[in-house]
Amino acid sequence: MLNTRQALTLYAWNAEISGAFMLPQQACEVAVRNAVSDVLSAVYGLQWPWSLGFERSLPDPQSGFSMRKELCTARGKARAGNTNTVIPELKFAFWVRLFTQRFDNRLWLPHLKASFPGMPAGLTVQQCRQMIYYELDGVRSIRNRIAHHEPIFARNLAADYTRMLTLVAWRCPTTATWLDEIESVTTVLDQRP
């Protein structure tokens, strides 16, 4: 059982490590969503958020998360015709779900290898897409915990950092090298109380 001082020390460290994750999390999210935006531009044009074909390709279930509704909501918050203002309005879950099998034929079979040139060799596009989905979903999990100021100290934080770095490396190995040189997650991990 922790005493009050130990609990407060762990609380403060949890906040510090959460802050340290902001840079790799941001680099990961921006790298992935820019890759996806490039693919969507290749398939649906530079104005892909307003493409009726893209909108219709998105699932719209009666309950739960609707990618179609999410796109419409994001468009409503952005400047009309400016794709770059829509991208940050879309929830992370939207980007993660674009890596499900339903988008293989239109998006990933023709474009995944070019969009993620750092993927391991010898894997099929479907295997690569599944790996990206799995890793992104892991990032989504820690991202949401940090955003809601929840404890993350019980997680395998080294694995969480590696997951983010790996996703960046799959998109751009040079950016991953840069990120690994400037991040502070590993330093703060070594200071865990």
Q: Is residue 171 part of a domain?
A: yes
Read off the pLDDT of residues 116-171 as tens digits, 9 standing for 90 and up.
999 999 999 999 999 999 999 999 999 999 999 999 999 999 999 999 999 999 99
- Amino acid sitting at position 71: L
**Residue 81: pLDDT band with limits 50, 70, 90:** confident
Q: Is residue 3 part of a domain?
A: no
In 3D space, the residue among 142, 136, 166, 193 whose CA is nearest the CA of residue 11 turns out to be: 193
Read off the pLDDT of residues 90-114 as tens digits, 9 standing for 90 and up.
999 999 999 999 999 999 999 999 9
Structure token pair of residue 19: 């802050």
Structure token pair of residue 98: 């674009």
CB 175 within 8 A of CB 31: yes
Q: For the chain, what's the residue count?
A: 193
Using the predicted structure, report yes or no on whether residue 1 has a pLDDT greater than 80: no
| 3-state secondary structure string across 22-81 | HHHHHHHHHHHHHHHHHHHHHHHCCCHHHCHHHHHHCCCCCCCCCHHHHHHHHHHHCCCC
Q: What is the mean pLDDT of residues 45-60?
A: 96
Using the predicted structure, report yes or no on whether residue 2 has a pLDDT greater than 90: no
Q: Is residue 46 part of a domain?
A: yes
Read off the pLDDT of residues 15-50 as tens digits, 9 standing for 90 and up.
999 999 999 999 999 999 999 999 999 999 999 999
Q: Is residue 1 part of a domain?
A: no
Q: Is residue 2 part of a domain?
A: no
CA distance from start to end of the chain: 15
Scored b (16 or more CB within 10 A) or e, 49-85 reads: bbbeebbebbeeeeeeebbeebbeebbeebeeeebee
Total domains present in the chain = 1
Structure token pair of residue 104: 């293989």
Q: Is residue 86 part of a domain?
A: yes
Q: Which residue range(s) make up the domain with 95?
A: 18-189
- Under DSSP, the state recorded for 151 is -
CB 177 within 8 A of CB 24: no
Q: Is residue 153 part of a domain?
A: yes
- What is the pLDDT, as a whole number, of residue 10? 93
- What is the pLDDT, as a whole number, of residue 78? 86
- Amino acid sitting at position 140: R
Structure token pair of residue 21: 């994750």
Q: How many CB atoms lie within 10 A of CB 88?
A: 12
Q: Is residue 28 part of a domain?
A: yes
